[in-house]
Amino acid sequence: MMKIEPKLFYLLILSLVITFSSCKSKKNALSSTKNKSEKSSSKIINQYADLMDVSPKSIKNKKLYEFIDDWKGTKYEFGGLNKRGIDCSGLVFLAYRDVFDKQIPRNTSQQLEIIKRKYEGQLKEGDLVFFDYDNKKFSHVGIYLQNGYYFHVSKSKGVMVAKLKDPFTYKYFSRGGSIM
């Protein structure tokens, strides 16, 4: 039988204890991170459900609302495509890429060409909504959510959720539809 020095035996046992306890603590840390993420997601869902006056259970696409929350407040910048500044068609382009896993054109006029037009009452979450600002047809785009709300990037307030029938914006509402 092999004889092990007591100091070496003690170090071997100590290293095994540290290894197994650190694995356990890493597992707990990962579990804790997951729980925080789930709580954060739940908080986001509740926040947007309250805003849109719907039940949190009616919000099915958590990834969409996390995307909106992540971009919320990002300022408007013509041609922008990052957190320093973004324009309306860029926001729609990124949302479709990151949330819906679809590649769509980058500019508003081309986005308009790929929708199947719908009546306002037929709009569903993810449909595009277009507006005519500054006497220009289809100069602005956003994404419909539910219960009459959509998100977009405002020149004055940045990325935000707004009510479609808001008296200021609704008079510019032009059309809506789903991506074909």
Residue in 174, 118, 171, 102 with CA at minimum distance from that of residue 142: 174
First to last CA, the chain: 76
Q: Angle CA(38)–CA(40)–CA(42) in degrees, nearest 5?
A: 70
Answer for the pair 173, 159: CB distance below 8 angstroms, yes or no.
no
- Selected catalytic residue, list 71, 140, 158, 176: 140
Return the residue matching tokens 């020149």.
155
- Selected catalytic residue, list 45, 49, 64, 88: 88
Per DSSP, which regions of the chain are E strands?
81-82, 85-86, 115-118, 128-131, 140-144, 149-154, 158-163, 173-179
88 labelled catalytic: yes
152 labelled catalytic: yes
23 labelled catalytic: no
- Selected catalytic residue, list 152, 153, 158, 173: 152
CA 129 to each of CA 45, 120, 122, 154: distance values in angstroms, whole numbers, following the listed order: 22, 9, 12, 14
Q: Annotated catalytic sites, by residue?
A: 88, 140, 152
